Amino acid sequence: MVIVSWNTRELLLQCLVSVRAEQRRSELDLEIIVVDNASADGSAEAVRAADSDVVVLAQSENLGFAAANNLGIEHATGNALLILNPDTELQPESLGRLWRTLVASEHIGLVSPVLLNTDGSFQTAGFQFPGLVQTFLDLYPLHPRLMGSQINGRYDRGDGRSPFRIDHPLGACMLVRREIVDTVGAFDPGYFVYSEEIDWCRRMSEAGWTILCAPSANVIHHGGQSTSQAPDRMQAQLHRSRARYFRLHENERFRSRLRSLMDLGISLKRAGLPLPSGGRTIEELQAIAGIYEETWAGASDD
């Protein structure tokens, strides 16, 4: 198990309590590795004091989510990897249900739970790989019902019991076969934060692995507790990471269409038409479009 933390001490400790409780229920052997990304809140020291069996890899600088997880993966010795955010709480029986789903067939490479909000309401079961429509709706969010629908690439929780295929989960909780690292590699460290799980799952899918959601496994995800500490910087990083994903996985025709969609939205906003933009100004939307262009034009193909 690998948990990457950045200034989330109390949530991290709460997460570890839920992990130990699930370990006792499931009777699975767990190796817990916490990679602390240069937290200033004493997270590393607090974890060592609370649970001496946890391996703490305290970093002197923030490596980013992907690179820090890769460091934890390098130290892990198990035949499966649970990638877990510190702002999560495993709910009863979730770990065992994830494990049983993963080992049910050799073609299953990754299993995720249904994520719940802090109040227990449904958060997400998974997503389709992002495309033109989802990206446009990220910039210009329309009716909430549409935003949470399959049109925007969202999966519901099915019958609540039977595992089903998804393109990718939110990266807050993912149980992955160790062979995945051997066949498709670990996370791409070119993503500092955001979209690294999408890229990873895209590579898994292209290599023939099946990705599932196990809706009987529930995990509370308090959500955004690290990234909310630097919202403006993280918003820019969100679009930079998404642009990287499209550069690596989509062709120039796709990127040209996305440029046209973003230009259309900005033109409609400038003309005063009632197109929602999540509170962003025209200047902010232009800056986002600039991030995409900079990422696509200024980076080498890697």
Task: Give the pair of three-digit tokens for residue 124.
Answer: 């997400």
Q: Do residues 209 and 176 make contact, with C-beta atoms less than 8 angstroms apart?
A: no
Q: What is the pLDDT of residue 224?
A: 63
DSSP 81-104: EEEE-TTEEEPTTHHHHHHHHHTT
Q: Do residues 43 and 113 make contact, with C-beta atoms less than 8 angstroms apart?
A: no
Q: What is the pLDDT of residue 235?
A: 86
Mean pLDDT by 10 residues, the chain (302 residues): 97 98 96 97 97 98 97 96 98 98 98 97 96 91 87 93 98 97 96 97 98 98 69 86 96 95 91 84 93 82 53
In one-letter notation, the amino acid at residue 270 is: R
- Tell which residue, 223, 196, 200, has the closest CA to residue 211: 200
Task: Give the pair of three-digit tokens for residue 49.
Answer: 């004091």
Q: What is the pLDDT of residue 300?
A: 47
Q: What is the pLDDT of residue 48?
A: 98
Q: What is the pLDDT of residue 4?
A: 98
Could you list the beta-strand ranges (E) of 131-284.
164-165, 173-177, 210-221
Considering the chain, what is the average pLDDT of its residues?
Answer: 93
Q: What is the pLDDT of residue 280?
A: 86
All domains of the chain in start order, with CATH: 2-226 (3.90.550.10), 229-298 (no CATH)
